[in-house]
Amino acid sequence: MFTAVLLAAPTRCNLDPALVESLRNAWGGGDAIWLSPDEAAEFTLTVMPENFWEVWETCQSMGVDLVIVPSEGRRKKILLADMDSTMIQQECINELADEAGVGARVKDITARAMNGELDFDGALRERVGLLKGLPESVIGKVLAERITMMPGGKTLLATMKAHGAYAALVSGGFTAFTARVAIELGFDENRANTLLVVDGELTGEVGLPILGKQAKVDALEEITARLNLGEADVIAVGDGANDLGMLTRAGMGVALHAKTSVAAQCNVRINFGDLTALLFVQGYAKADFVF
């Protein structure tokens, strides 16, 4: 058994009941259940439709996300989340680079790395090298003035944790940022790279070992083993190439506003919704949300 979920951006709430009904009828689905009026609806299916991706494309043109997931085990017990451009709206290293006057160069490297065009470790070393000599105090300035949370993040964490889930922030970014973001959003733990500092200035080097794509997979394996759970119990969310390992291994891997090359390898793609979409795809109604 499968469940089809249709989602609109919460800022638009433009999910047309006629679309839900026509799709349900075309696919022979069960009765439509509205998880949130004009925003999210679902219905059950006995088989995966052969024309799913064609219909998905049509829904995308209407500003609607369409997801089909197995009905059994939808509510996950572990959340593994990327940070940059996922739980926050920025790439931290790009913001630091702007302060260092090398913003354009670093943004180009970041974009290519997140698209999978560059080796993550090498790209990280190169970008951090360009920050050499930047005062450590700039990190606090960037956190205070440039970093904003992705909409829906606090609600996602609060709701899943209220139902007993464990949440881990696993980032290819830096502990100076993940520590603050983890506290603000309510993560149980955070993992990231360390910017090395000497005499109050960034050295241009990153602590070893570098946490890249494999580190996120390692986190998935270690946390599930520690909690005596399986990979099927995990919902993972990210947007970059270094997230693909955990996204493809998790029971539910969500590409959130992801790079095209990344989304192409994920079955659950959220392009219009915010982080609360991860609750809807797990079967939570808006009435269940913890704000």
- Give the active site residues: 82, 84
Beta-carbon contacts of residue 58 (< 8 Å; ≥ 6 apart): none
CB proximity list for 86: less than 8 A, separation 6 or greater: 150, 237, 238, 239, 243, 256
Burial class of residue 229 (count of CB atoms within 10 Å of its CB; 0-12, 13-18, 19+): middle
Report yes or no: 32 and 63 within 8 Å, Cβ to Cβ: no
Helical packing angle, 153-162 and 175-185, nearest 10°: 60
Dihedrals phi, psi of 270, to nearest 5 degrees: -115, 110
Which residue type does 270 have? I
254 touches 225 (CB < 8 A): no
- What distance in Å separates the CA atoms of residue 255 and residue 240, rounded to the nearest whole number? 8
Q: At 132, phi and psi to the nearest 5? A: -55, 130
Question: Residue 174 has which token pair?
Answer: 């830096």
Nearest to 109, CA basis, from 121, 22, 99, 100: 121
